Amino acid sequence: MPRVLLTAFGGLLIATAMGRPLGAQERSLVELGVTGVRFPADSLVTGGPSVRLSRSHERDRLTVTGSASAIAGIGGASGFGELAGRWLGPSLLGWRGEVSAEVGALLGTGGRSSSVTSSGSMAARLVRSIDAGGVWLRGGASLSPREPDRLFGHGLGAGAWWRWSATQIVASLARERNVAQLFTGAGREGYAGTVPVAYTEGALGMQVERDDAILSMHATVRRDPGAERLFDRGLSATAVLWQTPVRAMVVSVASQLPDFVHGADAAQSFTVGIRLGEPSPRTARARRARPVVQVSGDSAARTVRVRAPGATRVEIMGDFSEWEAVALSAAGDAFSASLPMAPGVRRILVRVDGGSWAPAANTPALDDDFGGRVGLLLVP
């Protein structure tokens, strides 16, 4: 397979694998789809089936993510694997430290030829939260062993984010210095040496989240005095639409800039697929929720109040309602209803945003007669 096709497929895989959400809690993800791609620098168009596997685990301050992606197309196939970790340090004067590292390997095959490349990077970041947003400062370095060279890179950057209701906006500015390899020939089989690369890059991203859908858009502008064009831009948009709590349809379009760390070319792509294992926003909120239930008033008209920050719908049921679900009315981050409830120890369950029925966070729990758990609420 020509070198251009190997690095091109690799660029798509890298962009896909690195598109995971930051700070993801423990989860597994499978994405199956079909990808079409065009490489402007070589007037090459190809495509075929694609697959992505990902597993994330978060424990205390450490998050570890492993991912693997593969694309098959006309003339060959390519696979990319990556292991990434992130550690959050303690907070000092309002700033929190963060250290991250990534190692990845790319394998491409086609015809009688194959190619293997690898890369590694480390970064340190200082993050400060401000109301519904925050700012960060970042510095990082990378090493890409690639025959016959070892390509070093480093960069500095800063950014900010802001969240309003269900919309999050992220902006960043970075200065990067890397090294690129040069090749000659139609298939880039002839090695011509290396060239330093230094550029400034600004990025703006927006994500809009609904109960069963997420729309993400990202725009990048790069100023590179050594490139054919002084200014270049990248654009991407992804829509995820959930049909069930853990199955979604994904549609993605992208025009990506060259990735000098991984040796990937600029590419334009379109992907349609099915994502399995990632919970919908509504389901994720329900899983994160730690509802707290309180009761006040007399037995003729008790006020039941449940605090569940981030929830949009809360229901309760118990022996006081003959195990019929009762929807509570929203009031800020709390939900309440007026119900008759006799004094004593009452059995109660809470459901947030259509999730599973479960005991509240502040109620002792015991096994019920159906193999589940039920909360015990003391009503004075």
**Tokens in use for 293?**
């239930």
279-318 residue pLDDT tens: 888 888 777 778 899 998 887 788 999 998 878 889 999 9
289-379 has the same fold as 3-282:
no
Above pLDDT 70, what percent of the chain?
A: 90
At 188 the pLDDT is 64
Above pLDDT 90, what percent of the chain?
A: 43
Burial (Cβ within 10 Å: 0-12, 13-18, ≥19) of residue 199: buried
3-state secondary structure of 41: helix
Rounded distance, CA 211 to CA 50, Å? 27
Rounded distance, CA 123 to CA 95, Å? 16
CA distances (Å), origin 200, targets 102, 178, 232: 22, 12, 11
Please list, in sequence order, all residues whose beta carbon lies within 8 angstroms of the beta carbon of residue 369, skipping any fewer than 6 positions away: none
79-113 residue pLDDT tens: 888 899 999 998 888 899 999 999 988 777 765 56
Least confident of 52-61, 94-103, 169-178: 52-61
| pLDDT average, residue stretch 204-214 | 94
**Would you say domain 3-282 falls under CATH 3.40.50.720?**
no
**Domain boundaries of the chain, sorted by first residue:** 3-282, 289-379
Please list, in sequence order, all residues whose beta carbon lies within 8 angstroms of the beta carbon of residue 157, skipping any fewer than 6 positions away: 137, 138, 139, 172, 173, 174, 175
> Model-level pTM?
0.77
In this structure, are residues 245 and 283 in contact, taking their beta carbons and an 8 Å threshold?
yes
Helices (H), ranges, the chain: 3-17, 281-288
Q: Residue 21: which pLDDT band, with cuts at 50, 70 and 90?
A: very low
**Domain 289-379 class, CATH top level:** mainly beta
3-state secondary structure of 67: strand
3-state secondary structure of 77: strand
Rounded distance, CA 193 to CA 149, Å? 9
The more confident residue out of 91 and 187 is 91
Does the pLDDT at position 9 exceed 60? no
